[in-house]
Structure 1
Amino acid sequence: MDISPEAQQILSASGWTPESFDEKLAEELVGQLHKAQRRRREAATHAFPEAIRALATYGGIAVPARGPGDTAYRDGFTLTPVDGLTSETALQELRQLTVDEEYFFPIGAIPDIHGKLLISDHGKVVMYGPNGYFLVGNSMNEALNNLIAGVEPGEFF
């Protein structure tokens, strides 16, 4: 799935370009996450290829878009792993709940609703928050389209 024109416009206003792919930035963002995990005395979360690809393409952006959406309120979000930092216990719980025992990596957050954005090693993007786990998209592009359009996430479980 491609990024919608609306999503491209909002992402571009946040500093993203369609040609964006910065593996060094992705590695820096992963390093910041691992440093934060060490401070919390937690094991470093493995950054698998899907996570690196998402961060190299979209890492570091903050989308302030807020307001009415297609089926849900549009909250702003960040794509910085430190913002999505969650406990190793939560990541293990999520892995156990998936059919294929997918691994997850924090890629960002939806601060206004205390939601953490996580990407799986299969490319799914999930939001973890006080009300549980929700599927935002089956791919990073679908997730961005849904977040920007204000599409109600589906229940993950």
Structure 2
Amino acid sequence: MTGVLMRAGWRPDRDTGDAAMLAILTSAAVGAVSFPAAERALREFHGLHVLPADTGGREVAAIGSVVDPREARFDVPSLHRLAGSLGVRLFPLGRTDTDAPLAVDEHGRLLMLGPGGPWLLGETVYDGLSALAEGIAPVRIRAPRWSFPLPDGPADLGAAVRAALVAVYVLHSAGLYSGRALHLRATTLRGIGVVAVDEDFPLGPGSLDSSAEPLLAAMTGRLDASGARAAGCELTLTIPAPPGTEGPPATVECAVTVGSPAEPPVLTLSAGLSASTGPTATVLDTCARSLAAWSVAPAGA
């Protein structure tokens, strides 16, 4: 996909030097904070006006762009908010011909803040500008979320505990984090919905299988002490991230819900926007595949 960029004036080892640095300094004056990947990208691509390919687009409409961070200077606050959600620094790079701001992140990827939120155009600025002009469909950046029905069987507290322990195993095996407790939130189904129990139950020593019965007994005892019955509550078991978990893994939430009048028994796996790309996204995909296989496995398998 070199043609569109070559026609715009790009060439290997292009370096716009002072012009790029002046544009960076001008953008810094309105709050943008530079970093090495942004400087490298602007030295190579600053000043290009990339025209859309004559073919009209391979997958979506081909769109041209201008590479000049000053074209996106009024979008710096929006890019700061997006950077906070993604957990990665962003620097304005330019603007598309459809008036969407472009930004480069600290990993050198090209992003667009367009209709429906942020979009990943390419793993490099070169690939992203080429894809935009060639009409290659971008990847929408979404907060990841999956839902899995519990396998057939009684949808009770025991089933929720067993499902949650499966999730503990999956999260640990994939290298995301090792859960040390299950958190039970029990909300009564009658009246205004009183929260009867809302606390952590530590996993016991030994295998996860051996933890199931003690956890079930402890949770049932706590429900009894509160005057509630498991069968009369919406029960949600979550797996808290261990203390000290940082970055995208800290945004991961895994929950099992049974007894809800609004939805069937379900296990959900979700995370923040910062986990939508990179290593955490890859690990989450692995977890999702494992949980999907568990969800459809025959009872007792």
Q: TM-score range by the shorter chain?
A: 0.7 to 0.9
The two structures have a TM-score, normalised by structure 1, of 0.80
* Inter-partner Cα distance in structure 2 for 1:130 and 1:155: 10
Q: What's 1:97 paired with? A: 85
Compared CA separation, residues 66 and 141, structure 1 to 2 (3 A):
closer
Q: What's 1:61 paired with? A: 48
Compared CA separation, residues 109 and 121, structure 1 to 2 (3 A):
same
Matched ranges for 1:4-153 at <5 A: 4=1, 8-35=2-29, 37=30, 44-65=31-52, 68-98=56-86, 101-112=87-98, 114-153=99-138
Q: Identify the structure with bigger relative contact order (alpha carbons < 8 Å, sequence gap 6+).
A: 1
Q: Give the aligned length.
A: 141
The residue type equivalent to 2:35 in the other structure is: F
Q: Which has the larger radius of gyration?
A: 2
CA contact (8 A) 1:66 1:73 kept: no
CA contact (8 A) 1:136 1:154 kept: yes
* Inter-partner Cα distance in structure 1 for 2:3 and 2:127: 15
Runs (4+) off by over 6 Å: none
CA contact (8 A) 2:113 2:119 kept: yes
Q: What SS does structure 1 have at the residue aligned with 2:82?
A: helix
Q: What SS does structure 2 have at the residue aligned with 1:85?
A: helix
Residue by residue, what CA displacement relative to the aligned partner does 1:111-135 show, whole Å, maximum 9, x if unpaired?
32x2110010111211002431111
Q: What's 1:41 paired with? A: none
* Inter-partner Cα distance in structure 2 for 1:64 and 1:132: 24
Supply the RMSD in Å over aligned alpha carbons.
1.8
Q: CA deviation at 1:92?
A: 2.6
* Inter-partner Cα distance in structure 2 for 1:83 and 1:156: 23
Q: What SS does structure 1 have at the residue aligned with 2:119?
A: strand
The two structures have a TM-score, normalised by structure 2, of 0.44
% identical aligned pairs: 24
Question: What are structure 2's unaligned runs of at least 5 residues?
Answer: 143-301
Q: What SS does structure 2 have at the residue aligned with 1:92?
A: helix
Question: What are structure 1's unaligned runs of at least 5 residues?
Answer: 38-43
The residue type equivalent to 1:110 in the other structure is: T
CA contact (8 A) 2:91 2:105 kept: yes
Q: CA deviation at 1:66?
A: 5.1
